[in-house]
Structure 1
């Protein structure tokens, strides 16, 4: 740790943190013993207490062991959007001493098949609207058991909330060889075997988005996942008094940790939403006094752009946290000036079970990844020579810490490429470019593979996007590289305008504004105003998809 970082280390915090040597399942046991009647989950006005949650976890774990034959170390796929069954299923797999394989619910048949067959999962828990994607895997012999749940089983009839269509769907009576309804599985009342797991057992295999080929499975133990949430809890002041809004998808580590594992670690309450709806989120924040929310910047931007906020009470919100992309300065200023909220930015990856770098609560910086948290060694290296770079120089971020994954599942070649040794320690290569400022804070520049080379000038899309968010009428922006016959590559911007933007605002007007606010070589040579930008299941703008489409379009026109 550099001297500069030492100077701004949070007051009263130890430099080294002792990570609990217990399983994630033990966190639920402890919280249930302490707060049996306290709401663990609120799902569209339906409350599930800690004792009710634990009871259902036990019943499902018993079914997994006694009927499905799940043994210690066996992988179980969890294919669902946010709902109580996701939390129950996740902890039931851990209670059965299995390994959770959360699968993106946006994945279709072949994408699901890849995650199932690559991980070796023989059992899957799936939401009923995804049944048609999962059922063929039974017929093909890729799965032996499929347990199907309906979101509506946890919905009160008298809720006044605007429910997503999938949440309103009544339970469908799916049947067939290897297929069982969730409610029927629990009704069999199987008791699980005695738990004998430990912190070093495998807990989760989280698959990456697969932007450079097939997705890779990030292998985490109970210990590595615990290291991340225990560090985040201390760093951000987590406690049982908090109520967290869980909108970020639970299959992804941002949502999994911030919306599920962290609240259960402290005995807090998690307010779950199956999918994003800013109006429903507003009502839930008011109704349940939500004070903590982990979300990607795109979600925060959308929420605080809602005209319905006027006259509503969101004063309970005290801690907004997130990562995955830099929060635009214009939005940070709005949060600070209009709502008195400071967005606490942090940095993590699926490979680090989320939290690993963080801004100190008392001294955070905007558009900043923060400083290395407990037990973490973070450095900037030259991606070609692997030599460590000096303060202020841009290079690849590499990380060493307790929360770093063990390996990629069934992929020794990718594992070997991703880890390097520095001073006797194993470091993860992130593929993210950044630098360290004179106070020891880390800043992201962009993804290593996202840089645009325009006539020899390096253009970092994230920097251009950040500036464009300062435009008074731009709600979202995505800058991509596009082929250019003269420059080789050029920057192209796709923007979504705010509600109420002038109807005559043209793409040329936006380019002219850019020329006044950034160096000429960074100015997008074309701007496209669109109704919406494509987003991944985690709420990130899918820049690679847009960039690939731009290059395909160019090739077709040659």
Structure 2
């Protein structure tokens, strides 16, 4: 294990920390006991205390157990945007001894069907604007009950902030078998049974995807989730209940879930939630609620700093601006530094590591750098063919060993076996990302061993998009690659061989795709070709097409 990075370790912080031997839910329970009247969640101008949130968590957990039949180890789908209901539902599922299956609220019915079938979820919790996509699966799959929430139920105080119509909309889902209004579930005030889940119980299963096939569930226990919920605020520090975080990254995704929501619940801080990005409302909330930390993706900061109304907002209280998933442009990072005195803190992690495995130390931050292996983590750069470590400065695959590493892919022992390898007697997760380590032990990303497109922080897996594209009657062959996009960084491009006689245009195919998949996956660019480059065995040479696209830049 290379320890060059220890020279830049935060002063006074040990190289490893001990995490609690409890379930993740206990973090909320403890914060509610310590700070009952303190704001847990701010939603526009509604402030919910830790005591109020905890009461609702217990009520919903009781309903899940007693009315929905949720048992220890069951999977419960959670499909909604950032809101108090998301946080309450997340912790209620854990309190019911079940496992949270967080899904992207942009997914459509056909995509959701896979998550339900694969996880075997019998119960889902969804917001009402998403429910129409979930409804066709009710009773037609394993899904038997859906608790449906209206965000408006969390708008308890008047506000002049710009609240989107879908947030203001009152509950309007028609009564139907298996459909339970959120308010009704909470009003029942069922008391949950004894909390049985411990560190090794199932806690959360975010889905990711690979180069082939459908998305895969990453199995995380309370222990693996707990580690980063505690380690991230410990690293970024200080861990005090007075921290206030702006939650604009989606909480269904591990970064927003762990680095913001769960980290703040662990420390007793306040989470200021926005269900949809709005640069003016973000500025107003930062000013009004004295936000101290903000985790984001670069496109948000680019938009925020270009706002002509920026001078109206007091952002001087921000003491930490962090993120990952894409490099922050140097000019934008400099403007942020000039305005706030804060250097953008970059980190690196995956769904398989429940957010961070590498973060820059605050006293020695390098830009466009993944950072160093942080608390309890051993990371190596390894030749993906020989499985031997490469010399410092050479490119190889990033391998990770640490307490936040997942247990495996749900119901997929073959993929699980492929994802791990042993080195020096330790079991390492093979990230599939290529990078190198400099002389100071900092890691840098160079390329992807796996195929993946990063569109504004959303990970798009070409194989998944290709499977959907083949459903179009005009598509004979399709290869999906990344194309440059001035705003999103990367966007989705489909290179298509049309069927003989097909008259579909690129716009026709794009419009069709908008009805079949989440918006971030939809190809923004379609190119028609006569043939796709292939190997002698007929496998499409996607790398050739990707390299050709890169050459155009």
Contact kept? 1:398, 1:430, Cα under 8 Å: yes
Map residues 144-155 of structure 1 onto 2, 5 A cutoff: 144-155=144-155
Deviations 1:154-177 (A, max 9, x none): 114621011122101111143111
CA distance in 2 between counterparts of 1:555 and 1:9 reads 55
The change in CA–CA distance for 1:31 and 1:557 in structure 2 (over 3 A counts) is closer
Equivalent pair of 1:174/1:181 in contact (CA under 8 Å): no
For residues 178 and 494 of structure 1, do their structure 2 counterparts lie closer, same or farther at Cα, with a shift above 3 Å needed? closer
Residues 232 and 356 of structure 2 are in contact (CA less than 8 Å); yes or no, is this contact kept in structure 1?
Answer: yes
> Which deviations, in whole Å up to 9, do the C-alpha atoms of 1:236-291 show, x marking residues without a partner?
00321100000111111011112210100000000001111111101100110001
Q: Which residue does the alignment assign to 2:70? A: 70
**Which residue does 2:174 correspond to in 1?**
174
Q: Are residue 554 (structure 1) and residue 529 (structure 2) matched?
A: yes
Taking the aligned partners of 2:3 and 2:177, their CA distance within structure 1 comes to: 63
Please say if residues 382 and 398 of structure 2, whose CA atoms lie closer than 8 Å, have aligned partners that are also in contact.
yes
Alignment of 1:274-285 (within 5 A): 274-285=275-286
Q: CA deviation at 1:310?
A: 2.3
Going from structure 1 to structure 2, the CA distance change for 1:557 and 1:6 (only over 3 Å counts) comes to closer
- Structure 2 CA distance for aligned equivalents of residues 13 and 338 of structure 1: 29
Aligned length: 482
Please say if residues 246 and 258 of structure 1, whose CA atoms lie closer than 8 Å, have aligned partners that are also in contact: no
User: Secondary structure of 1:115's partner?
Assistant: helix
| C-alpha distance in structure 1 between counterparts of 2:126 and 2:94, whole Å | 17
Alignment of 1:269-348 (within 5 A): 269-348=270-349
CA distance in 2, matches of 1:114, 1:127: 19
Aligned to 1:533: none
Within 1, Cα distance between the matches of 2:36 and 2:54? 9
Cα contact 2:211–2:451 (8 A) shared by 1: no
CA distance 1:287–1:209, shift in 2 (3 Å) = farther
User: What secondary structure, in the 3-state scheme, does the structure 2 residue paired with 1:357 have?
Assistant: strand
Label 1:286 to 1:494 Cα distance change in 2 as closer, same or farther (>3 A). same
**RMSD of the TM alignment (CA)?**
2.6
Who is 2:48 aligned against?
48
More displaced stretch, 113-122 vs 153-162: 153-162
TM-score by length of 2: 0.83
Distance across 2 between alignment mates of 1:308 and 1:556: 50
Q: CA deviation at 1:229?
A: 1.9
Q: Does 1:214 align with 2:205?
A: no
SS of 2:100's partner is: strand
Unaligned runs of 5+ in 1: 452-460, 466-477, 481-488, 498-535
2:395 is matched with which residue? 394
Shift of 1:546: 5.2
Deviations 1:315-372 (A, max 9, x none): 1111011111121222111211233111111111100000111111111111111111
Matched with 1:87 is: 87
Contact preservation (8 Å) 1:59, 1:189: yes
Instruction: Give 1:186-205 correspondences, 5 Å limit.
Output: 186-205=186-205
Out of 491, 494, 502, which is 2:485 matched to?
494
Encode CA deviations 1:478-532: one digit per residue, 9 max, x unaligned.
9x9xxxxxxxx999643249xxxxxxxxxxxxxxxxxxxxxxxxxxxxxxxxxxx
Cα distance in 1 between the residues matched to 2:359 and 2:248: 21
1 CA distance for matches of 2:56 and 2:388?
52
Quickly say closer, same or farther: Cα 1:22–1:157, change in 2 above 3 A.
Answer: closer
Tell me how far 1:379 sits from its aligned partner: 0.6
Whether the 8 Å CA contact 1:285–1:314 is kept in 2: the answer is yes
Cα deviation, residue 302, structure 1: 1.7
TM-fit CA distance, 1:311: 3.9
- C-alpha distance 264-3 of structure 1, shift in aligned 2 (>3 A): closer
CA contact (8 A) 2:101 2:204 kept: yes
Residue deviations 1:176-208 (CA, integer Å, cap 9, x gap): 111110101111121111112211111001011
Gaps of 5+ in 2: 463-479, 489-513, 534-553
CA contact (8 A) 1:233 1:239 kept: no
Are 2:96 and 1:105 equivalent residues in the alignment? Answer: no
Which residue in 1 is equivalent to 2:130? 130
Q: What's 1:19 paired with?
A: 19
**Relative to 1, partners in 2 of residues 1:60 and 1:450: Cα closer, same or farther, differing over 3 Å?**
closer
Matched, 1:6 2:6: yes
Once the two structures are TM-superposed, the CA of residue 553 in structure 1 deviates from its matched residue by: 2.9
Q: How does 1:252-263 map to 2 (within 5 A)?
A: 252-263=253-264
